[in-house]
Structure 1
Amino acid sequence: MKRTIALDCRMIGRSGVGRYVESILDEITSQDIEDFQFLLVGPCERLSQYSNRKNIAGIESYEIEPLSLRDTLEGTRFFIRLSKKVDLIHFTHFNLPLFAPRNSVVTIHDLTPLILKELFPVGKRFSLSLLLRLNKRRIRRFIAVSQSTKNDLAQLLGIPSEKVEVIYERVSSRLVHCDRILPEELRGREYFLYVGNKKRHQNLDTAIRAFDVFFDDHPDWKFVIAGKKDKQRDYVDETLENVRNRSCFIEYDGPSDETLAGLYSNTRGVVLLSLYEGFGLPVIEGFAFGKPAIVSNRSSLLEIVGEAGIVVNADSVEELSLFASRVAKDNVLYGNLCVEAGNRFSFFDTYCELEKLKALYHDAIGHSRFA
């Protein structure tokens, strides 16, 4: 008889975690699975498209706003009740109930608020720390999306290595295979691309200042920022008000998959100068389109980029500007990086994420010695 996994889909449609959920859903509904079926937990409107697909046992409606106080408190009662109907619950983000069921696993994407404390409000840091500390003995297994994140779980929370499995993320197939729409203003233009939210730890102000220097010698190029704003007026707006080459910066707020695919397809390279990343999905998405990356020398990015990118000091305007110029001018270097990007994507594309998840599910259901 198939075991039932309750898959937490509360964050579907929301930034990087939403992509992660979509990727898992694409995987579990595209092939035959003998040993598991999945009960999807989350907003019915978003999940209804999966209701009649392979390996889906049903949808458990959950309409409470994720990451809210109500989510934490009412979610405790909801998931405790749910845990009695399923073999295992897979929480796909750290927005855990106050007391998670003991038959649970959780994916940790990053611990940014606990590492870059000065960039996050006290309340967010406290709630994350509290939820993880209350539940670290209750949760049967932790999934870390990189070795870097696994190390952080051990160092910051004292979670035993044997309780944490590294399972890399994969690029959503719907992004790779959808239509590609390049905005009219970028057609025939050369540009570098940033994809992601605009939170402080993404270090976009340093990247913007670096490209402002780059544009002094490359006035026909663009730097494209694609992602949702953190708030109506943020530090990105403030930084852009003080650049010399304002017309060289283009922003797209919450672009569609089709627009993202077009942007990835035509960029010279993806830029991620983050101060901390648990994984760095935009880098791998760029690799899916054969595009190299310029990344900071922080956290997981060294692990993820391999030979398919250039690593620079996260604090150095000069380094980013210099290496962007090299990638722009040196076609031999660029060609080699593109080849490596394709190779690196092949590694992640053939990575058996679902097989590793299934093995972890079996282990978590069969062994509760850490609970």
Structure 2
Amino acid sequence: MRVFVEGTPLFRQRTGVGQYTKNLLEALFRLDEENTYTIFSFALPGQKTKPRPIPETPRLGYRFIRYMHQKVFNAVVRKVTAPPIDVMLGSRPDLFLFPNFVRYPLPLGSRAVAIIYDLSFVLHPEHVARRNRQFLTRYVPITIERCQHIVTISENSKKEIVEYYGADPDKISIVSPAIDHSFFYPRPAAEIDAVTGKYNITKPYILYAGTLEPRKNIRSILDSYAKLPPEVRASYSLVLAGGKGWLDQDIKRRLDELQHMDIITTGYVPDEDLPALYSGASVFVYPSLYEGYGMPPLEAMACATPVIVANNSSLPEVVGDAGLLVDAHDVDSLAQYLEKVLGDPALAGELRRRGLERAKTSNWDESARRLLAVINEFGSQR
């Protein structure tokens, strides 16, 4: 079969969707020896060829739409309607894979599978930018209706799609994110020292990794750190590792109020620094208000770091019995859990052991096999 894959998430600064797409596709292309793939995106006429995020092979090529800029396409989609992507490409492959929530029109008759990660835009609209919320609210239900199959990333997300949109559960498969164990593993002290030195981290630390935005509940992390006994705060820095996100004004205000405390904001952290940052942390904290899956806790567990996560959405699925679960809105409990892990080496050691064991069960090859089964089943039906 010929499979066309929307590549837009691959060419941006990769966070959640982009990382998932890249890792999953790399594993898929290693695994699949039958089908051929074309990754498509946009480029200006005469624009220098974009770097290929995944190297080309005899079974993998790229195609760029050069007569319409990505920004123009996005504006047309938002303000008018979604243009027919197969007509723009001049192709009718067996299957389109749309890995970023939305299926675009395919009047030439190709079948389609789309990946819908979560329903944060309808269940927690206050944490989603208005323009993105309007876009997803408009196009996701059409995507569910017109795709031959939907992929999502957790049991929780599947349940929400079924309940909110009345989707047939048999039309939805789960392909969870996974860990690259050649990358996320406990790093040696020398590497940890090099990376922590880069970010001016000079003593043991509590770590959060991810975008600094309201949905990640950064305010509760800051408030729980402020509630720790002074002698604990004197021994541990709080490190917020991630770029600024949407609606971060309240986070900035709280950071200003706590500027007398040892709180380090690193800004965006490149991928290569993350394993050492995880490995060096005394505890990883992730009390997010909602997650379609939540990769950072899994990455931290793979690096043998104790984790504390919120007890909502998909996060209990991710950590199982390998992490501590807390009410995201209960700052006092979060502070107590932090103090307990930091003050109890036996508990921290047990969480490290359980986390490593649980992380080992996660791998991209298994996720790719599940996606390939979907591709083979729904791409071959005519």
Q: Mark yes or no: TM-score above 0.5.
A: yes
The question of whether the paired residues in 2 share the 8 Å contact of 1:8 and 1:41 is answered with yes
Which range moves more in the overlay, 187-196 or 86-95?
187-196
Tell me if 1:169 matches 2:183: no
Residue in 2 aligned with 1:56?
Answer: 60
Residue in 1 aligned with 2:376?
Answer: 362
Amino acid at match of 1:94: F
- Pair 1:202–1:66, CA change in 2 (3 A): farther
Amino acid at match of 2:303: F
Alpha-carbon shift at residue 74 of structure 1 (Å):
7.9
Amino acid at match of 2:373: A
The question of whether the paired residues in 1 share the 8 Å contact of 2:224 and 2:335 is answered with yes
Q: Percent identity?
A: 21
- Counterpart Cα distance in 2 of 1:206 and 1:358: 40
- The normalised TM-score by structure 1 is 0.88
The question of whether the paired residues in 1 share the 8 Å contact of 2:113 and 2:147 is answered with yes
Alpha-carbon shift at residue 123 of structure 1 (Å):
4.4
- Alignment counterpart, residue 157 of structure 1, candidates 157, 165, 181: 165
Tell me if 1:117 matches 2:125: yes
- Pair 1:347–1:217, CA change in 2 (3 A): same
- Counterpart Cα distance in 2 of 1:321 and 1:41: 47
Query: RMSD of the alignment, in Å?
Result: 2.8
Tell me if 1:228 matches 2:243: yes
Tell me if 1:23 matches 2:3: no
- Pair 1:350–1:34, CA change in 2 (3 A): closer
Alpha-carbon shift at residue 124 of structure 1 (Å):
3.5
Which residues in structure 2 correspond to 1:275-294 (within 5 Å)? 275-294=289-308
Alpha-carbon shift at residue 35 of structure 1 (Å):
1.9
Residue in 2 aligned with 1:183?
Answer: 196
Residue 52 of structure 2 aligns to a residue whose secondary structure is helix
- The normalised TM-score by structure 2 is 0.86
- Pair 1:166–1:151, CA change in 2 (3 A): same
Residue in 2 aligned with 1:37?
Answer: 36
Which residues in structure 2 correspond to 1:259-270 (within 5 Å)? 259-270=273-284
- Counterpart Cα distance in 2 of 1:61 and 1:134: 24
Residue in 2 aligned with 1:130?
Answer: 138
Which residues in structure 2 correspond to 1:327-346 (within 5 Å)? 327-346=341-360
Alpha-carbon shift at residue 317 of structure 1 (Å):
0.9
The question of whether the paired residues in 2 share the 8 Å contact of 1:40 and 1:59 is answered with yes
Residue 94 of structure 1 aligns to a residue whose secondary structure is coil
Residue 376 of structure 2 aligns to a residue whose secondary structure is helix
Residue 9 of structure 2 aligns to a residue whose secondary structure is coil
Give ranges in structure 2 of 5+ residues lacking alignment: 44-48
- Counterpart Cα distance in 1 of 2:104 and 2:139: 7
Amino acid at match of 2:211: N
- Pair 1:335–1:314, CA change in 2 (3 A): same
- Counterpart Cα distance in 2 of 1:299 and 1:8: 28
Alpha-carbon shift at residue 78 of structure 1 (Å):
2.7
Amino acid at match of 1:208: L
Alpha-carbon shift at residue 314 of structure 1 (Å):
0.7
- Counterpart Cα distance in 1 of 2:124 and 2:72: 22
The question of whether the paired residues in 1 share the 8 Å contact of 2:177 and 2:364 is answered with no
Which range moves more in the overlay, 270-279 or 216-225?
216-225
- Counterpart Cα distance in 2 of 1:228 and 1:147: 29
